[in-house]
Every structure is written in C-alpha cells, then in structure tokens.
Amino acid sequence: GWKDAINTTIINFNNEKMHITWLTREIFPGKNVSFSYTFDEGKHKLWKPCPTYLLDQDYNSGCVFKTEGPTLAISIRNGNGSEELFSKRLKSDFYIKPDRPENVTFFWKEDTVTVNCNKPERAVKCLRLELQYKSKFDKDWQSRTSKCCRVGEQGFDPRKCYSFRVRLKRLVPYCNVVEYSSDWGAETFWMNGTLLDSCNVDIKSQSNTVIALSCLLTGLLMMLILLILLRKWQRLQNSIMPAIPDPKYVFTDLFNDHNGNFQEWIGKTDHVVVPTKLEYEEPECTIEAESQQEDDNSNKQGFHENIFISSGAAENSDPKAAQIACLMPRSNTIASFAGFQILMNDDMYVML
C-alpha cells in the first residue's frame, strides 16, 4: 500500500528541467529514501541516481534533473536502494510548465490595446497568451486569452491608468494533464499609450499639476480684477478731485538751479518778458476816516502790508477791487512767464 500512498508533484520546466517532489517524511518518519530515474525504453534501462536532492528538515523530499526525452520512469527506494517503495512511468511532455513570455510589447490605439510576445521554439500550438488588466477603479483583474502570441482587447479609457500583466498557459487536456501556466511577467502601467512607473505616482502628479494650475489661474484672475478696480478708482478720483498742477514742474529752473530764490531767478531767466509799467488810470477813491484810522493803528504796531492787483482787476467794476487798486503804489510792475502773471514791488512778488 505504500506505493499508492506516496503522492508526487511533477513539473517539466519548459521541457528543459524536471522537478519532482514527494511526501515520504510523514509516511516513513525517521527514515530517508533514494530516488532514481531513466528516459530509456525497453528492457535494457539505465537507471540514474538523483543528481540534486531537495531537502525537508534533512530528509530527501525531491529531485531536480535534466529533461532528456518524452518518456520518463521514476523509482523511489529505501535508503540503501534494496527495496522499491514507489515507481511510475509518465510522459514528460504532459507536465510542461512554460517560461514567462519574452519581449512583451504593447500597442495602444484609441480604446484598443494589443499585446505581442516572442514565439517559443517548441509546442507553440499548445500555448495560449493570457492578458490581465485592471484600473484603479477595478477590484479584480479582467482577463483575456488568445492564441500565442498575440492578444488584444477593446474598451480602454484613455483617461485612466491601467495595470497589465501577461503569461503563457498550456492547453488541457490536449497538451497537459495538469493545467500549468508560466509565472506572470513584470507588471506594467499604461495610460493612453504612455508607459508609467506607477498609477499611484501618475494620479498624484496629475493632482499636483491640477492644483498648481488652479492656483496660478486664480492668482492671475485676482491680479486682473485688482488692476481693473484700480483703474476705475483712478478715473473716479480724477473726476471728483482733479489734479492740481505743481509749479515746480513749470518753473524747473527756479527750484533746481536757484533753490526757490525768486529774486535771483527772475533776474537771470531769459523767458520773462521785460517788465512794463502798469498803465491804468487811478480811480478816484475816497478813503474813509475809519480806513485811515486802521492804517494808523497798523503802522503803530510795526506791521506793514502791501496789496497788489493786476490791471485787469482795476478795470473791473468790482468796488472792492477798485478800492484795493487805490492803495496800490505806482511803482508796481507786471511780468508774464509760462502763462503766469507776476506782480512785482520793492517788498513782494505775487504770481497770478
């Protein structure tokens, strides 16, 4: 009954290397076993000992050796090889596990993705190429299988990032008695035909880009609104309170070259019209005693005031102007400069 009790696992890696394991430690505790194999047929078989044992707590639990043919016979014996515990004949071609697909390429066009890989040298008809994919919004992998070595799928959203992986599978039961598939190839990340390092990095970078652009556009919009408001405020301010011209920009020489010394400036400037005597007829005026008394009082206090007025004012019909003109000395002169009128006396200059 021991021969039936020993279960074995047989894997033929890409029809190049045999990997056979068994469970004897549980059946024969404290005892070790030996393994031998042959690819020969007929009566004259040449049994070969296991070149490389697999150990489980110092007990032989498996053997690895090179694949040398389609027909394989194995034998498990006791430690010294005198008694056979298990034997089996099998077709090694029915236990093939393919290698990973090589040179995998992705072709993305609109919503269709096509995956290709190199064709293996052996048993291409027994192989199928399986494609699995999922986006960040999918919980489980979606699968698509096609003949080796090309598979395509439609319905991909160019705005989403997808994870892809591929592997090769052996057909059951036509080619294998056990459903063996290759290990998954390296997982890749794609978005609209662009290879990415990770979908997480892509989403984070896109989020940062959107935030930066939003902040930039918001700042530019606020600056534009402030400029418009400032422009409107300046117009409103100019309409309510017109700007008063500053005489220092008109009389640049007076303030820059003469430090505001009007008497020095008026004597050297070339733009002043030659002073002319004011020609007007002195109006007859009656100065009341009250005015004389006020003048006497002002003289006693040591305060002397001269009032000057242009000839145009004397000609007006305003009685106050005429009365002021009566007090004006005859030695007054008038000059004009840059649109200004200047009254000059021995003690004072007045710009009109």
The per-residue pLDDT for 254 is 66
Answer whether residue 337 shows pLDDT above 70. no
* Token output for 332: 């007054």
* pLDDT band of 161, cuts 50, 70, 90: very high
Dist. CA 122–CA 16, nearest whole Å? 11
The per-residue pLDDT for 158 is 87
pTM for the whole structure: 0.54
* pLDDT band of 36, cuts 50, 70, 90: very high
Dist. CA 332–CA 345, nearest whole Å? 5
Answer whether residue 163 shows pLDDT above 50. yes
Average pLDDT of span 115-138: 90
Residue 143, C-beta contacts closer than 8 angstroms, at least 6 positions apart: 130, 131, 132
Answer whether residue 292 shows pLDDT above 60. no
Answer whether residue 277 shows pLDDT above 50. no
Within 13 Å of residue 50, how many CA atoms lie on the same side as its CB? 23
Burial 144-175 (b: 16+ CB within 10 A, else e): beeebbebebeebeeebbbbbbbbbbbeeeeb
Q: Which of 119, 95, 100, 101 is nearest to 183 (CA)?
A: 100
The per-residue pLDDT for 208 is 65
Residue 38 forms beta bridges with which residues?
A: 73
Amino acid at 236: L
CB atoms under 10 Å from CB of 69, counted, come to 12
Q: Domains in the chain, ordered, with CATH?
A: 8-97 (2.60.40.10), 105-196 (2.60.40.10)
* Token output for 65: 């050796």
| Mean pLDDT rounded to a whole number for the chain | 76
More confident residue, 84 or 315: 84
Average pLDDT of span 293-298: 50
Q: Which of 174, 169, 175, 178 is nearest to 148 (CA)?
A: 169
The per-residue pLDDT for 325 is 47
